[in-house]
């Protein structure tokens, strides 16, 4: 198998283009899932939060479900037991 190397910055740009492509092609739920995972890895990324907001705006029909799924994915088990979620 051939492997091509890339810097962290190059991978970030690739991923951001992929997220935008998902949003532009109507795949808001998938975009919300992958962006949510990425935000967990790099919390201080305002661009990612804007993309997430855009995903929820694009996926309004599933908004409530998606929001609850995102909250559940970002909470640890201890937080889940003590929340009103």
| Mean pLDDT across 41-45 | 76
Both tokens assigned to 50: 């804007």
Q: Is the pLDDT of residue 85 over 50?
A: no
Average pLDDT score over the chain = 77
Length of the chain, in residues: 85
**Are 36 and 20 contacting, i.e. CB atoms less than 8 angstroms apart?**
no
The percentage of the chain sitting over the pLDDT mark of 90, rounded to a whole number, equals 18
Question: In the prediction, which pLDDT does 21 show?
Answer: 95
Q: How far apart are CA 68 and CA 85, in angstroms?
A: 8
**Interval 44-61: pLDDT, tens:** 678 888 888 888 887 765
Q: Is the pTM of this model over 0.85?
A: no
CA distance 26 to 83: 32
DSSP class of residue 76 equals: -
- Are the CB atoms for 47 and 16 separated by under 8 Å? yes
């Amino acid at each position: 198998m051939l492997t091509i190397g890339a810097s962290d910055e190059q991978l970030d740009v690739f991923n951001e283009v992929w997220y935008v492509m998902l949003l532009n092609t109507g795949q808001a739920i998938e975009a919300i899932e992958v962006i949510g995972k990425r935000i967990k890895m790099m919390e201080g990324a305002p661009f990612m939060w804007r993309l997430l907001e855009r995903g929820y705006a694009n996926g309004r029909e599933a908004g409530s479900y998606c929001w609850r799924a995102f909250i559940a994915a970002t909470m640890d088990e201890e937080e889940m037991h003590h929340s009103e979620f």
